[in-house]
């Protein structure tokens, strides 16, 4: 079974449409993330949820809205898609092993969703 699975793998859509990407993890982790990777491979964090609570909300257009129905799922809805939204979107999850600076916060990434806005 895939640890972090996201669907769909590919998404081709027209400008102005609304689309959703789903993510599920079966690792029992408390924290989930959405990252955007642009054409230059730059990985930028967008959002993070810990136990269904939003803990990281980077400067992203409010057309992007994450939703976490439970700690194993984190979905991303995008309204009014623009050309610049074309990228690979990665979901990830992590579980902090212990508190403090020695904590391991290893991120497990899904396979990615390649979004192309035409």
Partner 1 sequence: GQQVMQIPQYQHVQEGEDFTTYCNSSTTLSNIQWYKQRPGGHPVFLIQLVKSGEVKKQKRLTFQFGEAKKNSSLHITATQTTDVGTYFCAGGGSNYKLTFGKGTLLTVNP
Point out which residues bind partner 1 (CB under 8 A): 31, 40-45, 48, 50, 55-56, 90, 94, 96, 101-112
Q: Which is nearer to partner 1, 18 or 38 (CB)?
A: 38
3-state SS string for the chain: CCCEEEECCEEEECCCCCEEEEEEECCCCCEEEEEEECCCCCEEEEEEEECCEEEEECCCCCCEEEEEEECCEEEEEECCCCHHHCEEEEEEEECCCCCCCCCCCCCEECCCEEEEEC
Judged by beta carbon, residue 36 or residue 78, the one nearer partner 1 is 36
Nearer to partner 1, 15 or 56 (CB): 56
Smallest gap from residue 76 Cβ to partner 1 (A): 16
């Amino acid at each position: 079974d895939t640890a972090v699975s996201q669907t769909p793998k590919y998404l081709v859509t027209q400008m102005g449409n609304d689309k959703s990407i789903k993510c599920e993890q079966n690792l029992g982790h408390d924290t989930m993330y959405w990252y955007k990777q642009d054409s230059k491979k730059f990985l930028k964090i967008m959002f993070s949820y810990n136990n269904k609570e939003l803990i990281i909300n980077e400067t992203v257009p409010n057309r992007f809205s994450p939703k976490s129905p439970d700690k194993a799922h984190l979905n991303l809805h995008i309204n009014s898609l623009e050309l610049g939204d074309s990228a690979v979107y990665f979901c990830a999850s992590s579980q902090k092993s212990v508190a403090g600076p020695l904590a391991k916060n290893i991120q497990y990434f899904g396979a990615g969703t390649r979004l192309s806005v035409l």
